[in-house]
Amino acid sequence: MDTTYIAGAGMTRFGKFPNTSLAGLANEAVDAALTDAGVRAEDVGFVAFGNATSSVITGQAMIQGQLALLDGALAGARTVNVENACASSSSALHLAMMAVASGSCDVALAVGAEKMSHPDKTRAFDALGRAIDISDPLVSESPSRNSIFMDLYAQEARRYAAETGAPVEAFARTASTVHYHGSLNPNAQHRHPHSPEEILASRMIVEPLTLLMCSPIGDGAAAVIVTRDRPSTDPIAITGAALQSGRRREGGQLVTRTAKAALEQAGRKAADADVIELHDAAAPAALVILEELGAVGRGEAWKLAMEGELRHDGRLPVNTSGGLISRGHPVGATGTAQIVELVDQLRGRAGDRQVSDAQFALAQNAGGAVTLDDPYTAAVCAVTVLERV
């Protein structure tokens, strides 16, 4: 696939917005992206609409995108609803790239929109529980007071600690770093810095994950405009993109092979990335994924975290947006929100959390789980390479 470009990106703030509909969120993000790109709505030839939980949260299924856009700038646009669990909108981005690279249109839009907050708080956990094989006998053994994914992330964290010697303080330091980033991001759901001590003292969710290490339930939308032609101002190229599905019990190998495919396209190495947005649905996952991506060697990520090197001004800036735990994780919107952050970083407009002279950025987004036994395997992994050109 030829190189495609990002002409603009925009998002809503993430949070809990009881009075804003999915349509309201989606159109706010779309309008922001169109404005940022300087593109007219009528020039958008394809819309990939990522949404994962609406069929459970509100009951609206099948045509979420068409309904959300019906009274907005993109009414009537060629629209496909994409569901790939928490990787729905990185999958949507992948389709938007294909749409322009195929010559089917010159400008395409990827939007992720999710409204998870609901007066009935069990609905969000119920919805997340559909992103695994619901017929898996392991499911019924799981407690239902939390998302089943926190059980999986906790299992992964314990394994990482056992294999690398990472202390729980490293997980707390990692969470503290991304909460610090989130405190600097006006669009973050949580905008409070937290010390490692506070994080360790917060309520235990599943050993060793405390509340402040876990991504919250929330609402939000993020949109990205993709073009075939190089934009005349501030162009950002998508030089590599891979989307892969998990095979039974392959565990983190899924991340490694997806990253390898994307990085080979770009001719780059993960270790050279200036800034990385990755899928830290729980804080320890950031460390695991950094190693799976090949950005650092095995057992090294937690040491970098302890040294503060994952900060925006450190050697390996990670989740400068605040990541899933601080910026928030309205699941279908997360993939495009990662891209919004990286566009801001590459364009040098990330304010107080700006990475100095960012040229090469990497996004990793994951979704669902096809197998649950340790190590669990995600259903989907997307890795995208962005470069300032």
| Binding track over 74-93 against a copy of itself, x by CB under 8 A | -xxxxxxxxxxx--x--x--
Q: Which residues contact 382 (CB under 8 A, 6 or more apart)?
A: 87, 90, 91, 93, 94, 241, 242, 243, 258, 335, 363, 364, 365, 366
- Is the Cβ–Cβ distance between 88 and 52 less than 8 Å? yes
Cα separation, 355 vs 185, whole angstroms: 13
Least Cβ distance, residue 223 to a copy of itself (angstroms): 16
Least Cβ distance, residue 76 to a copy of itself (angstroms): 4
Please report whether residue 1 would count as binding a copy of itself according to CB under 8 A.
Answer: yes
Please report whether residue 368 would count as binding a copy of itself according to CB under 8 A.
Answer: yes
| Binding track over 32-71 against a copy of itself, x by CB under 8 A | --------------------xx-xx-xxxxxxxxxx-xxx
Residue 186 or 267 having the CB closest to a copy of itself: 267
- Which residues are bridge partners to 46 per DSSP? 108
Q: Is 308 helix (H, G, I), strand (E, B) or coil?
A: coil
Candidate residues 380, 383, 385, 386; the one interacting with a copy of itself per rule CB under 8 A: 380
- Is the Cβ–Cβ distance between 196 and 310 less than 8 Å? no
- Is the Cβ–Cβ distance between 262 and 290 less than 8 Å? no
| Binding track over 200-219 against a copy of itself, x by CB under 8 A | --------------------
Phi/psi at 223 (nearest 5 deg)? -135, 150
Which candidate in 86, 105, 214, 381 is catalytic? 86
Least Cβ distance, residue 247 to a copy of itself (angstroms): 4
| Binding track over 8-27 against a copy of itself, x by CB under 8 A | --------------------
Q: Could you please report the per-residue DSSP string of 236-258?
A: EEEEEEEEEEPPTT-TTHHHHHH
> Contacts with a copy of itself in 130-169 (CB under 8 A)?
130-135
Which candidate in 105, 279, 329, 381 is catalytic? 329
Strands 107-115 and 219-227: antiparallel
Active site residue 329: yes
Task: Provide the annotated active-site residues.
Answer: 86, 329
Per CB under 8 A, residues contacting a copy of itself are 1-2, 52-53, 55-56, 58-67, 69-71, 75-85, 88, 91, 94-95, 97-99, 101-104, 127, 130-135, 242-248, 250, 367-368, 370, 379-380
